[in-house]
Amino acid sequence: GENVEQHPSTLSVQEGDSAVIKCTYSDSASNYFPWYKQELGKRPQLIIDIRSNVGEKKDQRIAVTLNKTAKHFSLHITETQPEDSAVYFCAASKSNGGYNKLIFGAGTRLAVHP
């Protein structure tokens, strides 16, 4: 069945450093890859997404890259700040009879230390 693996499970960086989170998906028909940020006790919120016809997308300090051949996609956060501390989830979905089902990775807990 569909599966999304996410690494690392925890990541600790110093403020100002970069952070990279990697995901691998199993279903080659997947065509949409969102990333969600969940702060402690809060709801998941979309921070960036990428479609399968694009290799890279950037939004200020956040970028996502997609390698369809290897079925890998990654989140890059540059110049990290303490407010970036949260759990980050990658997800993958595909169109399936007119509906899409998001399959989430297990999450990465990012801690940014001042």
Partner 1 sequence: DTAVSQTPKYLVTQMGNDKSIKCEQNLGHDTMYWYKQDSKKFLKIMFSYNNKELIINETVPNRFSPKSPDKAHLNLHINSLELGDSAVYFCASSRGSGSYNEQFFGPGTRLTVL
Site for partner 1 in 51-90 (CB under 8 A): 51, 87, 89
Site for partner 1 in 92-111 (CB under 8 A): 93-95, 98-104, 106-107, 109
d(CA 83, CA 72): 27
Candidate list 44, 74, 85, 86; residue touching partner 1; CB under 8 A: 44
Burial (0-12, 13-18, 19+ Cβ within 10 Å), 92: buried
Counting contacts by CB under 8 A, is residue 45 touching partner 1? yes
Counting contacts by CB under 8 A, is residue 7 touching partner 1? no
The piece of 15-23, 44-52, 56-64, 69-77 that touches partner 1 (CB under 8 A) is: 44-52
Q: Nearest CA to 64 among 28, 102, 34, 108? A: 34
Counting contacts by CB under 8 A, is residue 46 touching partner 1? yes
Candidate list 11, 20, 22, 49; residue touching partner 1; CB under 8 A: 49
What are the CA-CA distances from residue 104 to residues 4, 34, 86, 114 (Å)? 6, 9, 16, 29
CB 56 within 8 A of CB 65: yes
Three-class SS state of 84: helix
Binding site for partner 1 (CB under 8 A): 31-32, 34, 38, 42-46, 49, 51, 87, 89, 93-95, 98-104, 106-107, 109
